[in-house]
A and B are shown apart, each in its own frame.
Chain A
Amino acid sequence: MSQDTLNFIFIGITFAIYIGIALKSRATSTKEYYTAGGGVSPLANGMATAADWMSAATFISMAGGIALTGYDASRFLMGWTGGFVLLTILMVPYLRKFGKSTVPDFIGDRYYSNFTRFIAVICALFISLTYIMGQMRGVGVVFSQLFEIPIEAGVIIGAAIVFFYAGLGGMKGITYTQVAQYCVMAFAYTLPAIFISMALTGNVIPQLGLIGDYTANGESLPFLEKINNINTELGFKEFTSSNLSKLNMFCITAALMCGTAGLPHVIVRFFTVKDVKAVRKSACWTLSFIAVIYLTASAVGSFSRVNLVEKLNNTPHAEAPDWFERFEKSGQMKWEDKNGDGLMQYSALDRAEGNIAANELTFGADIIVMANPYMGDTPQWVIALLMAGCIAAALSTAAGLLLVLSTSISHDLMKKIINPDLTDKQEIKWARIASLVSLIIACWFGINPPSAFIAKTVAFAFGLAASSFFPTLLMGIFSKKVNKEGATAGMIVGICFTLFYIIYFQFMGGTSDQYFFGISPEGIGFVGMLLNFIIAFVVSAFTPAPPEDIQKMVAKIHNPKGSGDATH
């Protein structure tokens, strides 16, 4: 059976399962649409949150980032898991106790102002849209690979599928399909890693292979030494050393962490469980499920680095492996015979003889994970499973994000601010219209992304969340002093500063020597966050304190008892 047929069979089966679940648990009320009716078990919610969380950026992009930049990619590994500690310890138990189903809803009530609520809606839109752009790009990469078509067409096919099933099911449908998607993703990610680990290091467990010995081709030396040797030979920096400045690395990791704790689509996941105790338990499950994949990612990334170089570097193009041709066809790997010797050279050395750049191979980091099982000669069905996993990753996150986008518009904007008499039915209708519009915008940016590397686009979304929601929520929960003027000013300054910095460097041609203290746009959210805190405290100090009942409310949310159902 050909690889393509097998891919389609696997993807077909998984899709049938998702759609079956989505139809069976279709949302019939707004309550089910927003919070799945409450009472999802901590384990199921943990799995669903993990699937929601692990986006195309994690699944497709992160290991590629590790393969290309080694230690530097740790910022994604630590940032996207460490954020869960902040999220669980500082945010969700209290927000769950407060019992509202959306983030702007909490902000609007805690800061007793519809204007603040409106700003929160705007922030939620910016964050989710930026995030979803990265997802659509990811969907595009997978579909283009699958059908051997250009990325643009892949993005559009993916969008049609996402719309069909996210708009349909609401939170209830999404939660249960995400449980299924997590299972697919976990197998799809770990199985190829096991096969490759056995081939390269003789170790069944990839994490042990990473710290073990490289044993392929009759060699025997520590695996990390092997990969460092490869990098040095080709003129790259050592795999285990850093290219980023410490401050930049610190800021990016911090922005990713704080962003995680301020991401509306992750926070709302915890409104689907029974009470505060279940929230804490659910968070443990979530992070454990995420860790399974993240711990494998660093092994996958480094293995594929070795494979890639061993298989391609200095190989005659005529004898290139079949899969190389496949990726060439979809335009994701390119070879240009600069010195005319018919060999494919991969190198970081700027100039070889005759003033020609030595490197002849170009490929995006995003393609590494998909190319990985081909390089490792794993069985066909494993590759098919991986394809299904990639699609699951991008779809589940896109669906979760669309839900936040649509509820921000339908619930927080239409019902709470514009027309309080909206019926449940009309509200869901608005939600569906909003998801269609946002999907179209996301598609456009999926085709013309702010950065070709998915993980970087997604990192911007985290920066925006870190500079807007994280401080505002944190102060809302832990301080009785911060008032509506402070919170509003803080959010506006934080997100505007971060947004302009990103736009200036990504779209308006700013160069890296103009960076503020050498902090790249991915890390600027951390600075935006500090600005938000400072401004909120200063403004609050000079304006009237929050009313008595708000201060009482803040005290109340610290009592974990009596959380009841999340309302809207």
Chain B
Amino acid sequence: MEEKHTDDNSTGTSGGYRRASLIILFSLLTIWFVVSFGCGILFREQLDDAFSVGNAPLGFWMSQQGSIICFVLILIAYAILMGRLDEKHGYSETSNKKAK
């Protein structure tokens, strides 16, 4: 049942695509790390003292609310950016004909 992809779909990807997708991956993971571990744990006290959201200290708020909101935004950005990249390099399912 498996291993039946015979056309170009089954090959690896071009260097340009790989580089671009790794850039997206690392930049989003950096944001992910900063909003959760950075704001919510490592630098929480400093943020607590310096800023606040409504009546909540920022570090505490980031750890309970802000980071989660950021995570959702990161995933939306990922879907959009990768979708665009696939389109550009002809790796998208729908761009089959356009690309080749």
B44 to chain A, nearest CB (A): 8
The residues of A that contact B67 with a CB separation of less than 8 Å are: 77-78, 81-82
Contact present for A82 and B93 (CB under 8 Å): no
Contacts A/B (CB < 8 Å), 17 sampled: A71-B63, A77-B63, A85-B71, A86-B32, A100-B2, A210-B64, A211-B56, A222-B55, A249-B41, A253-B36, A280-B75, A280-B78, A288-B72, A556-B11, A558-B18, A561-B9, A564-B4
4 more A-B contacts (CB under 8 A) besides A223-B55, A291-B71, A558-B21? A211-B55, A224-B57, A559-B10, A559-B91
Complex: A295 Cα to B70 Cα, angstroms: 12
Q: Is B37 interfacial (CB 8 A cutoff)? A: yes
Return the chain A residue nearest B1 by Cβ: A567
Complex: A240 Cα to B71 Cα, angstroms: 22
The number of chain B residues touching the other chain, given as a range, is 35 or more
Residue B41 contacts which of A212, A250, A564 (CB distance < 8 angstroms)?
A250
Q: Is A74 interfacial (CB 8 A cutoff)? A: yes
The residues of A that contact B93 with a CB separation of less than 8 Å are: 275-277, 560-563
Say whether, besides A77-B64, A559-B9, A246 and B41 are in contact (CB < 8 Å): yes
Interface string of A69-109 (1 = CB under 8 A from B): 00100100110011011101110010000011000000000
Q: Is A441 interfacial (CB 8 A cutoff)? A: no
Say whether, besides A210-B56, A277-B86, A287-B72, A90 and B25 are in contact (CB < 8 Å): yes
8 smallest beta-carbon distances between A and B, as pairs:
A562-B9, A211-B54, A555-B12, A222-B55, A74-B63, A298-B64, A280-B79, A211-B56
Interface string of B1-33 (1 = CB under 8 A from A): 110110101111100001001000100110010
The residues of B that contact A288 with a CB separation of less than 8 Å are: 72
Question: Which residues of chain B from 44 to 84 have a CB within 8 Å of any chain A CB?
Answer: 44, 48, 53-57, 60-61, 63-65, 67-69, 71-72, 74-76, 78-79, 82-83
Residue B83 contacts which of A78, A86, A280 (CB distance < 8 angstroms)?
A280
Complex: A158 Cα to B78 Cα, angstroms: 39
Interface string of A173-184 (1 = CB under 8 A from B): 000000000000
Q: Is A10 interfacial (CB 8 A cutoff)? A: no
Say whether, besides A78-B63, A253-B36, A291 and B69 are in contact (CB < 8 Å): yes
Contact present for B10 and A556 (CB under 8 Å): yes
Q: Is A294 interfacial (CB 8 A cutoff)? A: yes
Contact present for A207 and B41 (CB under 8 Å): no
Return the chain A residue nearest B82 by Cβ: A280
Complex: A288 Cα to B74 Cα, angstroms: 11
Complex: A240 Cα to B44 Cα, angstroms: 10
B2 to chain A, nearest CB (A): 5
Say whether, besides A212-B55, A558-B18, A281 and B79 are in contact (CB < 8 Å): yes
Contact present for B60 and A71 (CB under 8 Å): yes
The residues of A that contact B7 with a CB separation of less than 8 Å are: 562
Q: Is A213 interfacial (CB 8 A cutoff)? A: yes
Contact present for A78 and B36 (CB under 8 Å): yes
Contact present for B92 and A284 (CB under 8 Å): no
Return the chain B residue nearest A249 by Cβ: B41
A523 to chain B, nearest CB (A): 12
Q: Is A208 interfacial (CB 8 A cutoff)? A: yes
Interface string of A57-76 (1 = CB under 8 A from B): 00000000010000100100
Q: Is A159 interfacial (CB 8 A cutoff)? A: no
A193 to chain B, nearest CB (A): 14
Contact present for A561 and B91 (CB under 8 Å): yes
Say whether, besides A78-B40, A246-B42, A250-B37, A562 and B65 are in contact (CB < 8 Å): no
B38 to chain A, nearest CB (A): 11
The residues of B that contact A253 with a CB separation of less than 8 Å are: 36-37, 40-41
B57 to chain A, nearest CB (A): 6
The residues of B that contact A77 with a CB separation of less than 8 Å are: 63-64, 67-68
B94 to chain A, nearest CB (A): 8
Return the chain A residue nearest B7 by Cβ: A562
Contact present for A88 and B78 (CB under 8 Å): yes
The residues of B that contact A280 with a CB separation of less than 8 Å are: 75, 78-79, 82-83
Complex: A287 Cα to B83 Cα, angstroms: 18
Residue of B2, B5, B72 with most partner-chain A CB within 10 A: B72
Return the chain A residue nearest B9 by Cβ: A562
Complex: A81 Cα to B83 Cα, angstroms: 23
